[in-house]
């Protein structure tokens, strides 16, 4: 009996999430400028670093755009997270959550719909950035399995940041408050191996850069693109992303229950 109830609850959650996901995706399709805007800043950053600073940065063999792209992909996702928090804030401030609470739908389905919309929208933005990088000379010998691994890590990274974004999306009182959440996330790749090797950084900065999650994720993506062994960085990247996702999910659900209680 318990197994049947659990199965019914899971099916109910999946069905409600699918319906609400369709609603969220329709909103995104009606405003495709949000996806384009998300990609514009990272693309401009990539153009600036490759064509202005690239010749002055030593990254060993290979083109600088090949070195830079993994970090730019993470910046793209961090930029897109701001829109996720804003969409959630808009639903909360507009009273939509109160209306959903009075309906026979799974409560967590509302959040899952926003989270999955974030994954889809950010992957589209990432694809746009990759296309521009290819036009700029990015080349990779990565096979299908390596590309699938890249995709998996980017999805995990997006899930981790999106569940973090749910918290300010639920609790912020102003648009400025919710939009400011993404600034530290966008800044974090600058203190990592995303733009320059960590070897030339001052001691304390280098220690932080080499032990924060962005560096392990960037190095893993870079090795996958280059068809090189990922080593321990791969496990660190997955561990960081999975750990952040679990913690952020627990905090987000706790915040949500308090919000609609």
Interval 148-187: pLDDT, tens: 999 999 999 999 999 998 888 888 777 777 777 777 888 8
Range of the domain at 137: 13-260
7 vs 154, residue with greater confidence: 154
Residue 17 burial by CB count (10 A; 0-12/13-18/19+): exposed, middle or buried?
Answer: buried
- Per the structure, the count of domains in the chain is 1
- Does the residue 6 lie in any domain? no
Per-residue pLDDT of 139-148, as tens digits, reads 998 899 999 9
The pLDDT value recorded for residue 231 is 86
In the predicted model, is pLDDT for residue 52 greater than 60? Answer: yes
- Does the residue 255 lie in any domain? yes
**Average pLDDT of the residues in 117-136:** 91
- Does the residue 39 lie in any domain? yes
Per-residue pLDDT of 206-256, as tens digits, reads 999 999 999 999 999 999 999 998 888 999 999 999 999 999 999 988 888
**Average pLDDT of the residues in 35-53:** 86
Q: Where are the alpha helices (DSSP H) in the chain?
A: 2-30, 33-48, 64-93, 96-101, 107-135, 144-171, 175-179, 182-187, 203-210, 213-225, 231-260
The pLDDT value recorded for residue 1 is 40
With contact defined as beta carbons under 8 Å apart, do 84 and 114 qualify? Answer: yes
Query: What confidence category does residue 8 fall into, taking pLDDT thresholds of 50, 70 and 90?
Result: very low
The pLDDT value recorded for residue 107 is 64
The pLDDT value recorded for residue 200 is 84
CA distances from 68 to 10, 19, 27, 179, 182 (A): 41, 38, 32, 26, 21
- Does the residue 175 lie in any domain? yes
- Does the residue 35 lie in any domain? yes
- Does the residue 8 lie in any domain? no
- Does the residue 4 lie in any domain? no
Per-residue pLDDT of 71-124, as tens digits, reads 999 999 988 888 888 878 877 776 666 665 656 566 677 788 888 888 888 998
Chain centre to alpha carbon of residue 215: 15
The encoded tokens of residue 78 equal 């961090």
The pLDDT value recorded for residue 95 is 67
The pLDDT value recorded for residue 5 is 41
Place of tokens 């659990």: 6
- Does the residue 112 lie in any domain? yes
The pLDDT value recorded for residue 224 is 95
């Amino acid at each position: 009996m318990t197994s049947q109830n659990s199965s019914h609850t899971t099916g109910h959650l999946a069905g409600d999430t699918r319906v609400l996901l369709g609603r969220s995706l329709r909103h995104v399709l009606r405003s495709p400028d949000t996806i384009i805007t998300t990609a514009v800043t990272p693309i401009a950053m990539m153009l600036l670093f490759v064509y202005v600073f690239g010749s002055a940065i030593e990254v060993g063999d290979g083109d600088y755009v090949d070195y830079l792209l993994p970090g730019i992909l993470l910046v793209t996702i961090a930029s897109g997270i701001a829109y996720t928090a804003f969409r959630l804030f808009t639903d909360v401030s507009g009273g939509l959550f109160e209306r959903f609470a009075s309906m026979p739908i799974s409560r967590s389905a509302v959040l899952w719909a926003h989270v999955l919309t974030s994954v889809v929208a950010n992957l589209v933005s990432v694809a746009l950035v990759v296309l521009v990088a290819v036009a700029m000379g990015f080349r990779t010998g990565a096979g299908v399995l390596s590309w699938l691994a890249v995709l998996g890590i980017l999805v995990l990274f997006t899930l981790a940041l999106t569940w973090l974004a749910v918290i300010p999306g639920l609790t912020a009182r102003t648009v400025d408050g919710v939009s400011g959440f993404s600034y530290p996330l966008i800044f974090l790749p600058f203190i990592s191996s995303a733009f320059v090797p960590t070897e030339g950084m001052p001691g304390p900065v280098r220690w932080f850069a080499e032990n924060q999650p962005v560096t392990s994720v960037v190095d893993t993506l870079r090795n996958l693109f280059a068809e090189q062994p990922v080593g321990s960085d791969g496990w660190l990247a997955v561990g960081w992303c999975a750990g952040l996702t679990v913690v952020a999910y627990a905090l987000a659900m706790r915040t949500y229950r308090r919000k609609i209680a």
